[in-house]
Amino acid sequence: MSRLLEHLGGGLALAGVLSQKVHKRGAYIKVLDRPGLDLSTPSGRGILALLSGLGEEERTRILRRANEGRIAARRR
């Protein structure tokens, strides 16, 4: 699932949206190889929210560094 989400470009943020849509239909997502990511529990949803925030922060840093690199390359 993580590869699919990364391919779609949403990563963990998209996982949260998908989880909410699945929950509205009366089902839950449980990541079998990550016991802490049982999205049927409040702690599992909290962990997803935390990881989503960290992922968003990392993506922001990556984009900033890439843009700084492009600017530096243009100067040379």
Identify residue 70 by its one-letter amino acid code.
R
For 38, the domain range is 2-75
pLDDT on residue 35: 77
- pTM assigned to the model: 0.61
Q: Residue 38: beta bridge partners? A: 30
Question: How far apart, in whole angstroms, are the C-alpha atoms of residue 59 and residue 37?
Answer: 21
pLDDT on residue 6: 53
Number of domains in the chain: 1
pLDDT on residue 8: 47
Return per-residue pLDDT of the chain as tens, 76 residues. Answer: 555 455 445 566 667 777 778 888 888 888 788 777 788 888 888 887 887 788 788 888 999 999 999 999 999 8
Q: Residue 30: beta bridge partners? A: 38
